[in-house]
C-alpha cells in the first residue's frame, strides 16, 4: 500500500525515537540483559512476565509496515517513553542554575547471592554544610500526576537509597560523563564525591542526612513524593525480587520454564498499553478475568458519581437562574461574598440546514440528481469509534441468569 508523505514522515520520527532510545540505553546503561536494574525490580513487582521478556527478547519486534492506526499508536508510545528523558534534561538545567553540587546517573554495582545488580540514580545532590547532606532525586513523567506513588516507583527509590546506604564504603560506585564515558570507577561513595565534587563526606552513612525523593512531572505541573530513607526490610525485599527475576531469566533462557507461566500484572494495569509483549499476553486470553473486577467496579462507581454530580449541578444551576431572574438584576453582576454571578446572553450555534441547501441547489441546477450528487461529494464521515460497555451484574434469588441493573457507556 502506497503511503502518503505525512505518514512516512511520522514513521521516520517514530523509528528515529526508537533507535535513539536504544543507542542512549547502550551508551549509559550498557547491556541490560547482563544485570538486574532497580527499575527492573520495580517493574517485576507488578509484572514478572513483561520484565523477564524485556531481558530476553528484542523490544517491540519491529514497527515497520504496520497499519496506519497501529503506526500512530506506536508513535504515541515512543513519544511517551522519551518524555521522561526530556524532563530529566530540564531538571538538570534547573539544578545547575542554582550551582548545586550534583552527580547525574550515579551507578552502584553489586553482586547479591550470584545476582548482578546495578542501580542508576538520576540525580544525587551533595552538600557538606550545615551538616553532611545527600539527596537522591528520581524523575518520573506522567500524563496526569498521581495522588499516590506507584508501587514500582516506590520499590525503585527504596532500593536506591537502601543500596547507597549499604554500599557506602564499598568500591561499588562509578560515574559517566555526558557522552557515556566512565570518568570514575570502582570507588567508595565518599571517594567519588571527593574526586568529582571536591566534597569530603563522613566514612559512615549514619553521620549523613540521607534521603530520596521522587519528582513526578507532567507537561503542565509537578509533584514531589518523599522523603524515603534507607529501610533494611525494603532493601531486602528489593534484593529478593532481583534474585527471583534473575533466576526466572536463566530458567527461561535455558528452556526449563515458559515465559507465559510467569505472573502478570493484576487487573487493567496502566502500563499494559505500553508493554512490548502485550499482544500475546496470557492475561488477555479467554473471557474470564476475575482480576479485572476491581477496575471495572471503580469505573462503574465513578460513572455513577459523575451522573449524579451532573444532575446536582443542573438542579443547582436552575435554582440560581430562577433566583437571578426574580431579583430583577437586569443582566448586572450580583455580588455574593467572594463570588459573583449573572445571566449572560450568548449567540446560538451556527448550523447548516441540509434540506434548505438541497432545495437551493436544485433550484440553481434544475436537477434533483445533480443536487444529490453535489451534496454526496461534500459529505464527510468521522473516524469509527469503539464503546466500552460496563454493566453491573446482580443475581436475583432463584434465577439462573444475571440481571443488568444499570449500564454506562464510555467513548474511547
Structural domains in the chain?
5-278 (3.90.320.10)
Q: Would you say 341 and 334 are in contact if contact means Cβ atoms under 8 Å apart?
A: yes
Residue 260 DSSP symbol: G
What DSSP string describes 164-212? HHHTTTSS-EEEE-TTS-EEEEEE-HHHHHHHHH-----SSGGGSEEEE
Task: Give CA–CA dist 65/237, Å, rounded.
Answer: 43
Please report, in tens digits, the pLDDT of each residue of the chain (412 residues total): 456 788 888 888 888 888 888 888 777 887 888 899 999 999 999 899 999 998 888 655 444 445 555 567 677 777 877 888 889 999 999 999 999 999 999 999 999 999 999 999 999 999 998 999 999 999 999 888 888 888 889 999 999 999 999 999 999 999 988 888 888 899 999 999 999 999 999 999 999 999 999 999 998 899 999 999 999 999 999 999 999 999 999 999 888 988 889 998 887 777 777 787 887 888 877 777 778 788 888 888 888 889 889 989 998 998 888 888 888 888 889 888 888 898 888 888 888 888 888 888 898 888 888 888 888 888 887 777 777 766 665 433 332 123 222 322 343 3
**Which residues pair with residue 403 across a beta bridge?**
394
H or E element at residue 186: strand 182-187
Q: What is the pLDDT of residue 71?
A: 64
Q: What is the pLDDT of residue 272?
A: 77
Task: Give CA–CA dist 405/396, Å, rounded.
Answer: 11
Q: What is the pLDDT of residue 31?
A: 82
Residue 13 has which C-alpha cell? 520520527
Q: What is the pLDDT of residue 59?
A: 57
Q: What is the pLDDT of residue 79?
A: 83
Q: Would you say 262 and 54 are in contact if contact means Cβ atoms under 8 Å apart?
A: no
Residue 53 has which C-alpha cell? 521478556
Nearest one of 45, 71, 40, 73 to 56, comparing CA atoms = 40
Residue 271 has which C-alpha cell? 502500563
pTM, to two decimals: 0.69
Task: Give CA–CA dist 52/36, Å, rounded.
Answer: 10
Q: Which residues contact 404 (CB under 8 A, 6 or more apart)?
A: 391, 392, 393
Task: Give CA–CA dist 343/218, Å, rounded.
Answer: 36
Segments in 228-273 forming alpha helices (H): 232-253
Q: Following CA atoms 13, 91, 224, 219 in sequence, which dihedral angle do they give, to the nearest 10 degrees? A: -40
Amino acid at each position: 500500500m502506497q503511503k502518503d508523505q505525512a505518514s512516512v514522515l511520522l514513521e521516520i520520527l517514530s523509528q528515529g525515537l526508537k533507535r535513539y532510545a536504544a543507542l542512549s540505553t547502550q551508551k549509559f546503561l550498557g547491556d541490560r540483559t547482563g544485570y538486574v536494574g532497580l527499575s527492573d525490580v520495580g517493574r517485576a513487582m507488578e509484572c514478572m512476565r513483561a520484565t523477564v521478556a524485556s531481558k530476553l527478547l528484542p523490544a517491540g519486534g519491529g514497527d515497520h509496515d504496520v497499519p496506519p492506526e497501529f503506526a500512530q499508536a506506536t508513535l504515541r508510545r515512543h513519544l511517551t517513553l522519551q518524555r521522561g528523558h526530556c524532563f530529566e534534561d530540564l531538571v538538570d538545567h534547573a539544578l545547575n542554575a542554582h550551582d548545586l553540587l550534583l552527580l547525574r546517573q550515579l551507578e552502584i554495582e553489586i553482586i547479591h547471592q550470584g545476582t548482578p545488580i546495578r542501580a542508576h540514580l538520576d540525580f544525587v545532590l551533595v552538600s557538606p554544610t550545615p551538616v553532611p547532606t545527600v539527596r537522591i532525586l528520581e524523575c518520573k513523567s506522567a500524563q496526569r500526576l498521581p495522588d499516590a506513588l506507584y508501587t514500582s516507583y516506590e520499590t525503585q527509590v527504596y532500593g536506591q537509597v537502601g543500596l547507597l546506604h549499604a554500599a557506602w564504603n564499598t568500591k561499588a560506585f562509578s560515574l559517566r560523563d555526558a557522552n557515556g564515558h566512565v570518568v570514575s570507577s570502582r570507588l567508595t561513595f565518599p571517594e567519588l564525591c571527593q574526586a568529582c565534587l571536591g566534597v569530603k563526606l563522613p566514612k559512615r552513612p549514619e553521620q549523613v542526612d540521607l534521603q530520596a525523593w521522587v519528582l513526578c512531572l507532567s507537561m503542565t505541573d509537578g509533584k514531589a513524593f518523599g522523603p524515603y530513607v534507607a529501610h533494611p526490610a525494603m532493601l531486602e525485599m528489593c534484593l529478593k525480587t532481583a534474585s527471583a527475576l534473575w533466576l526466572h531469566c536463566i530458567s527461561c533462557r535455558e528452556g526449563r520454564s515458559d515465559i507465559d507461566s510467569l505472573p502478570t500484572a493484576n487487573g487493567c494495569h496502566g502500563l499494559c498499553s505500553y508493554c512490548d509483549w502485550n499482544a500475546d499476553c496470557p492475561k488477555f486470553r479467554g473471557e474470564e478475568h476475575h482480576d479485572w473486577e476491581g477496575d471495572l467496579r471503580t469505573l462503574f462507581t465513578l460513572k455513577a458519581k459523575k451522573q449524579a454530580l451532573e444532575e446536582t449541578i443542573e438542579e443547582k444551576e436552575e435554582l440560581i437562574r430562577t433566583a437571578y431572574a426574580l431579583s430583577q438584576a437586569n443582566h448586572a453582576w450580583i455580588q455574593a461574598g467572594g463570588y459573583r454571578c449573572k445571566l449572560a446572553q450568548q449567540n446560538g450555534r451556527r448550523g447548516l440546514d441540509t434540506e434548505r441547501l438541497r432545495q437551493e441547489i436544485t433550484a440553481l441546477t434544475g436537477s434533483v440528481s445533480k443536487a444529490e450528487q453535489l451534496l454526496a461529494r461534500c459529505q464527510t464521515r468521522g473516524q469509527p469509534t469503539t464503546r466500552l460497555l460496563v454493566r453491573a451484574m446482580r443475581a436475583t434469588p432463584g434465577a439462573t441468569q444475571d440481571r443488568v441493573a444499570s449500564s454506562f457507556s464510555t467513548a474511547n
